[in-house]
Structure 1
Amino acid sequence: MIDKSCVKCEKPSNSFCTNCKLVHYCSRECQKADWKTHKTQCRPFEIKKDEKFGRYLKANRDVEADTIVVSEPPCIIGPKWNNEDEDPSSFTFFCVGCFEALKDLRTKCPNCLWPCCSEECIGLISEELHAIECAFLKAGRGPANKTSIKSVKEYFRQDALLALKILILQRRNPKKFKSLMEMEDNAENRLLTLNFKEAEDRINYLEDNFLKPLKKAEDKSNQVVLPIKDKKILHKIFGIIETNAMYINLANGNEICGLYPIGCLLEHSCLPNCSYSFDMKNGFKINVKAAREIKADEHLTTTYSHILWSTQLRQQHLKDAKYFTCSCERCKDPTELGTHFSTLRCLGSDESPCNGYQLPTNPISPNAEWACNKCPMRIKSDQVSFLTARMNDEIEKVFASSPTCEVLEELIEKLSQFLHPTHYHMFTLKHALLQLYGKHKDCPIESLSEEVLLKKLNLCNELLQIVQTLDPYAIRIPIYIGILYFEKHVALKEMIKRNNNCANIEDARKCLEEAERILKNETDTEQGKQLIQRVADALLNI
């Protein structure tokens, strides 16, 4: 039944704007003619598709910085689908209703008997949370041995729950299920990967504990509950999760995953133009914001990797997890936009030491050699990987021991023989060291010499210059940047105090104001909240 009118010519119409689906047009011609009027209402992007990018988002007009370009609730949320970051010797479990970390497993959902934080947990009855899978989990067999930690851990597999939730959507919400099945699954690329093998393990778990019993019940009752539940569809679901799931940091420090049909179309770039955050109080809605002015026809981008990794690490991660090579401006530049975030010192030969630097001849090629900018010396890419990995192991070992300023200084001095001063390993160590200056019990701020105080200030300035190049709009590492501005203010304030000179007071205030601006959206994590409060307190006391 046609009960709407075209907003341009007022003819009867049952068709929407092809982009935003908000207003009615009777034809493409009317929509095109009305664009100047409608574009301020219309969503600022179009969904496009081509062979190279697949489906992606393109700005359909100029977009001002801080404009929300996408605001979308998740199709589904659930526990992390992988546990690669977890200690295999530990046993961490989260409430099946609200994902709160559990101290023990004594409290259970009254219906399915999976561990929860409280029988009154609102997540247990939420149609968007545990209610989706509760009846299916209830049909499970339970741990083989309820007194064995190993058996309990093997049964309560939260890494498989998100896939089960999606499978169940074909019954509970076919429209959402269809939307999810349209997402990229990288089927061919996954076949010989570790992800595929791990997915096979999770699929076997789901079949043995829930799907085979369900099939028997269906045969007995002659009623089909889930039309599709074979391995093929489950592998597709895990492929969709691996390719598209976005990690959501909860206030308690835990991570969960969400799938967003439009949000997942943000393209990757190591120099993204969009930031995003999750509205925890509004159903985990994702809000994607323009981090800078975006011109019409630009692709909307985020980053799938870590901005503070080297090009070699970012490329390897993208290849392993997303099955593509990034060729952005930063990745193609051997110096990483002049930051030298991957650059090594050249050791030359035994006969002729060299003061040059080793840079990749082709950064986006995993097998390209590295060449010195001063001598003929070349090294292989896998040698660079081995060297930096060994250094990373040493750094993690030192951090695990709660190091003093002296320990970090010694390690920086040692690694400086092999690395450029602004290499990403040096960045990590310097970022930690400048925070210890004035904060560690062995070197409070009042005890720092003028030389060390100046060193703290110089380290802040050095690292700020790097992050302003790698993340100029504070999209991905606002906490890192906020700490740098806060610590710079600390150094300036101590200098003012010692010299009884207020010349630097405005610089200190500006540091805090910049930190406050950068951290304004970091209220979802405990670390972000604490840093915001420290900045606010410091502003009151400046």
Structure 2
Amino acid sequence: MSSGNCKSCNKSANLLCINCKEVYYCSRECQKSDWKNHKQQCKSYEIYKDEKIGRLLRATREIKAGSLIISEAPVIIGPKWTSDEDDEEDENFFKFSCVGCFEVISNLRHKCDVCMWPCCSPDCPGLTNAELHDIECQLLKMGKGPENRTNVKSIKKYFRTDILIALKILLLQRKNPKRFKAIMEMESNEKKRMMTLNYKEAEERIMFIEENFLKPLQKFEEKSGKEILQLKDKKTLHKIYGIVESNAMYISLKTGIEICGLYPTGVIMEHSCVPNIRYEFDMKNGFKISIKAGRDIKKGEHLATSYSNILWPTSVRQQHLKDNKYFICTCERCKDPTELGTNFSTLRCIGTDNNPCNGFQLPTNPTSEQENEFACNKCVIKVSNEHVNLITSKMNEEVDNILAMNPSPLIIEELIEKLNPFLHPNHYLLFNLKHTLIQLYGNHKDSSYATITTEALKKKLSMCNDLLKIVLSLDPCHIRIAFYTCIIYYEKGMCLNEMHKRNISGIEDAKTSLEEARRIIMNEQDSPEGRMVLQKVENALIKL
């Protein structure tokens, strides 16, 4: 065992700091007493300003995979700033999130005693929590309430969760000025969002806030002669919505409900479609975020997460980032026409009637919508970006419609055969269909393991191996799509198990796949889906 001198008392020591792995202590007591002095040296990152990107986080030393980099509490937490459109068409269906704990409630049986907004229970701890409902309660109290308290449509129109995060931030200038200042210094992208749909939607929310809460507040201020909020104008509210849109992180509760939060250092995390960090939220400890190294990180590397879905093709990711984060990504995947060798956006070239072509159409400039076109790697034919977007959007619509129907394996096979002449075998649309198909083979009533043919089993195994090549290229360290990768390994293991029963392969191959599925999903246990899949994998291993 290596040793050195204790940084605190200079005695002989062999207790190495697990974070920086640079200093020794003789005991935990010495380590705790020296933490204030060692904290800055122990930090594995620094805030760095880049001329093009702006502020970012940069590793100040080598960071091992799994190491904790940042742990911090949110400056604000609340419901999503976007409207929940579920059951929007059914005017008589009532669904709302409790103002205290955000859990879904389906009636108005309980309300906060102060502001009369719906809650799950009068004893909900979030109602009096200084970090949760207590922030906005007094202002909500000033609202008039629904125009018609017996009409469901009127009730839904008034109790809007999409205004609460903005109200919470607005009221921080009174409740916690230091936090309010920290939030208002975050990037809001004000000029970039002026002509966007986000701005128009925020405008409607702000009008609702002004009419129902700020006007009554202003009357109260005039009557009492006291200024409650210094900043409450439309410009401030637009800036708040811009800050939330640009910086808030989604948090999935165990019930599947999504809320959002702003984190002081977390907002500086850079985006990359090839991220190197992962994060998780502690629901029992004030939604504290823990940011960890998703892989080994070298000194000088930028710490990056993904603001988008890495199972989307480059064009869709770019549009999403442009519409919601107001920038274009130029990471290594986005600049690569093959998307890290996966050909996730690649089309087949059909050539001409007189001269068929077996080549593939690849984007020539993936990060530029205006200058991009698709060019064949074997012939001179090129296709405009607009034409590619048109045909893929139609295909995408057909795929979505089929998958929404809970299709049989045969229906998916037919759609794959229909799309094959136009798409690379690894194209994202075929990926989605195949990922669904491997879960149906052996599990669908028309294709159970008791009736599935050996030929279909071999087809499933081949498909699993093809899908694994794609996900392991896009996310080799299982940082963002661990769930998808785990499912593929699980289905491969179950397929190999059935092949073993038929004396086609050995049981060890099945066991290896299932153990890999278990290893990958261990980091996803906080989500309901992750726990469910982990249980399936554990049960399969026990049966082996």
Per the normalisation by structure 1, the TM-score is 0.91
CA distance in 2, matches of 1:466, 1:265: 30
| CA distance 1:274–1:143, change in 2 (3 Å) | same
Q: What's 1:65 paired with?
A: 65
**What does residue 355 of structure 1 align with?**
358
In the other structure, the counterpart of 2:541 is 539
Counterpart in the other structure of 1:13? none
**Structure 1 residue 156 and structure 2 residue 159: aligned?**
yes
Determine the C-alpha separation between the residues in 2 that align with 1:462 and 1:340.
12
Shift of 1:88: 3.4
Residues 62 and 298, structure 2, Cα contact 8 Å, conserved in 1: yes
- Who is 2:434 aligned against? 430
Structure 1 residues 130 and 120, CA gap change in structure 2 (3 angstroms): same
Is residue 95–residue 107 contact of structure 2 (8 Å, CA) maintained in 1?
A: no
Distance apart, 1:230 and its partner CA: 0.6
Counterpart in the other structure of 2:294:
291
Taking the TM superposition and a 5 Å limit, the aligned residue runs for 1:190-339 are: 190-339=193-342
Aligned pair count reads: 508
Secondary structure at the counterpart of residue 330 of structure 1: helix
Per-residue displacement from partner, 1:329-386 (whole Å, max 9, x unpaired)? Answer: 1111111111000001112223332222111111111121111112222111111111
Shift of 1:39: 7.7
Whole-Å Cα distance in 2 between the matches of residues 295 and 162 of structure 1? Answer: 37
**Does 1:511 pair with 2:510?**
no
The unaligned stretches of length 5 or more in structure 2 are 1-6, 9-19, 21-33
Aligned pairs (5 A) from 1:458-477 = 458-477=462-481
3-state DSSP of counterpart to 2:310 = coil
| Whole-angstrom CA distance in 2 between matches of 1:88 and 1:266 | 35
Query: Do the aligned residues in 1 keep the contact of 2:83 with 2:161 (CA within 8 Å)?
Result: no
> Does structure 1 residue 184 correspond to structure 2 residue 195?
no
Give the match's secondary structure for 2:260: strand
SS across alignment from 2:42: coil
Post-superposition offset of 1:86: 4.2
What residue identity is the alignment partner of 2:538?
A
How many angstroms apart in 2 are the aligned matches of 1:222 and 1:407?
70
**CA distance in 2: counterparts of 1:493 and 1:318, whole angstroms:** 42
TM-score for the superposition, normalised by structure 2: 0.90
User: Counterpart in 2 of 1:449?
Assistant: 453
Alpha-carbon distance, 1:38 to partner: 4.4
**In 1: Cα distance, 2:430 partner to 2:251 partner:** 29
After superposition, give the CA deviation of every residue in 1:19-57 in whole Å (9 maximum; x if it has no partner).
x9xxxxxxxxxxxxx9xx948952111111233111111
2:526 to 524, 527, 531: 524
| Stretches (4+) displaced over 6 A | none
Q: Which residue of 2 aligns with 1:370?
A: 374
For 1:195-232, what per-residue CA distance to the aligned partner results, in whole angstroms no more than 9, with x for missing partners?
11111111111110001100110110001111111111
- Residue identity over aligned pairs, in percent, reads 58
Task: State the alpha-carbon separation in 2 of the partners of residues 523 and 95 from structure 1.
Answer: 25
Cα distance between partner residues in 2 of 1:395 and 1:440: 19
User: How far apart are the structure 1 equivalents of 2:358 and 2:177?
Assistant: 64
Q: 1:136 aligns with which of 127, 136, 139?
A: 139
Which shifted more, 282-291 or 108-117?
108-117
What's 1:31 paired with? none
Range with greater deviation from structure 2 (255-264 or 118-127): 118-127
| Counterpart contact for 1:277–1:521, Cα < 8 Å | no
Partner of 1:345: 348
Alpha-carbon distance between aligned partners in 2 of 1:394 and 1:148, rounded to the nearest angstrom: 38
Q: Does the CA contact (< 8 Å) of 1:77 and 1:162 recur in 2?
A: yes
Residue by residue, what CA displacement relative to the aligned partner does 1:287-318 show, whole Å, maximum 9, x if unpaired?
Answer: 11101111111110001111100011111111
User: Structure 1 residues 83 and 383, CA, compared in 2 at 3 Å: closer, same or farther?
Assistant: farther
What root-mean-square deviation, in Å, do the aligned CA atoms of Structure 1 and Structure 2 show? 1.8
Superposed displacement of residue 146, structure 1:
1.7
Please give the alpha-carbon distance, in whole angstroms, between the structure 2 residues aligned to 1:394 and 1:253: 27
Aligned residue in 2 for 1:74: 74
Identify the residue that residue 42 of structure 1 maps to in structure 2.
Answer: 42
Q: Does 1:497 align with 2:501?
A: yes
Change (3 A) 1:39 1:93: closer
CA contact (8 A) 1:361 1:370 kept: yes
Correspondence for 2:424 among 406, 415, 420: 420
Question: Could you tell me how far apart the structure 2 residues matched to 1:349 and 1:255 are?
Answer: 49
After TM superposition, give the deviation of residue 483 of structure 1 in Å. 0.5
Structure 1 counterpart of 2:102: 99
Deviates more, 1:488-497 or 1:515-524: 515-524
Question: Where does the alignment leave 5 or more consecutive residues of structure 1 unmatched?
Answer: 1-6, 9-19, 21-33
Aligned equivalents of 1:441 and 1:96: distance in 2? 43
1:65 and 1:261 mapped to 2: Cα distance? 23
